[in-house]
Amino acid sequence: MTKATITTMNATSPLGVPPKPPEAHQPAERVFSNLLQHALNESGLVSKAYSRFHRYSLGNQLFAASQLLSRGLPLSPIASFRGWQDLGRAVRKGEKALTLYMPVTLKRQAKGDQNGTDDADTFTLFKLARNWFSLEQTEGAEVELPPLAIPAWDAGLALVTLDVTEARFSMLNGNVQGYAQGRQIAVNPVALYPHKTRFHELAHVVLGHTAHAECADTLMLSRSLQEVEAEGVAYVLCALLGLPGLPESRDYIQGWLDGGQLPEKSPKRMFSAAQRILAAGQPKAST
């Protein structure tokens, strides 16, 4: 398998090495860049991480998996110190907690408002929290392992949820696999991997690439960054859902990157877009 090598602007070394441990307090951008590198190069990692940690975001799924693997631990259920206590288990002395990103909602005071009134806008930041332990880091009562999650995804539901329309493919250039314009996408009926193309075009929309101009997947257009971002999203989703086309996706990313660099924020944007597209196509659990 040809490995994908991606570097980000301001990176001090090429990616392609295991992420530094969270204790190194890496910037979020570097963490997500390393996670993207792992996702592209470690076969089965994305789907295995999802099946075990599906209650967490895609980024945190891979973050937890990479930390466990770097410590020689299997991918097994994780919980907080208190969570394991509630299950009748205790964290072994000396075990180091896993680190994940957690949302923190803060208030942004309106200009001139010194009282912190309820009218202040709120915004969300993500900060590292060292708070989780895997089953192998604990001891005590036997616990029944939850079944591995198998992701389900429905294209029609995703389109409705994301407010995107899939139109009839109308381009005369048969080499084009698909295209996106505004909030509309089209997939070539003879596309080699129509599922991957659909993910790719949806990613263009979700990432905001099509807000003001047409985006057609053809080498005649110079949209290297957008193509790498969109295909990275498609790769993650195909890997997660066990769909074919991963080697071609890696080649596509490398071809468009062509030795260049991604902005540091791109990997995080890609994981966020993949999360949105995945969630949009998943039926809500009945109550």
Pick the more confident residue, 264 or 237: 237
Do 235 and 174 share a structural domain? Answer: yes
Is residue 200 in a domain? yes
| Tens digits of residue pLDDT in 67-102 | 999 999 999 999 999 999 999 999 999 999 999 999
Token pair 């990997």 is found at 267
Is residue 245 in a domain? yes
End-to-end CA distance of the chain: 44
The three-class DSSP label of residue 86 is helix
Phi then psi for 103, rounded to 5 degrees? -75, 140
Provide the domain limits for residue 84: 17-140
Is residue 37 in a domain? yes
Do 213 and 132 share a structural domain? Answer: no
Is residue 271 in a domain? yes
| Tens digits of residue pLDDT in 25-80 | 566 777 888 889 889 888 899 999 999 999 999 999 999 999 999 999 999 999 99
Residue after which a domain boundary falls, among 84, 108, 140: 140
Residue 22 pLDDT = 46
Angle at alpha carbon of residue 54, lines to 50 and 56, rounded to 5°? 115
Is residue 197 in a domain? yes
Do 166 and 95 share a structural domain? Answer: no
Confidence tier at 2 by pLDDT (50, 70, 90): low
Do 276 and 159 share a structural domain? Answer: yes
Residue 172 pLDDT = 86
Do 169 and 271 share a structural domain? Answer: yes
Do 97 and 70 share a structural domain? Answer: yes
Average pLDDT of 210-214? 70
In total, how many domains does the chain have? 2
Do 74 and 181 share a structural domain? Answer: no
pTM: 0.83
Is residue 50 in a domain? yes
Confidence tier at 220 by pLDDT (50, 70, 90): very low
Residue after which a domain boundary falls, among 140, 163, 181: 140
Do 94 and 159 share a structural domain? Answer: no
Residue after which a domain boundary falls, among 140, 166, 192: 140
Is residue 265 in a domain? yes
Do 195 and 134 share a structural domain? Answer: no
Residue 287 pLDDT = 47
Do 240 and 191 share a structural domain? Answer: yes
Token pair 């919980």 is found at 79
Is residue 46 in a domain? yes
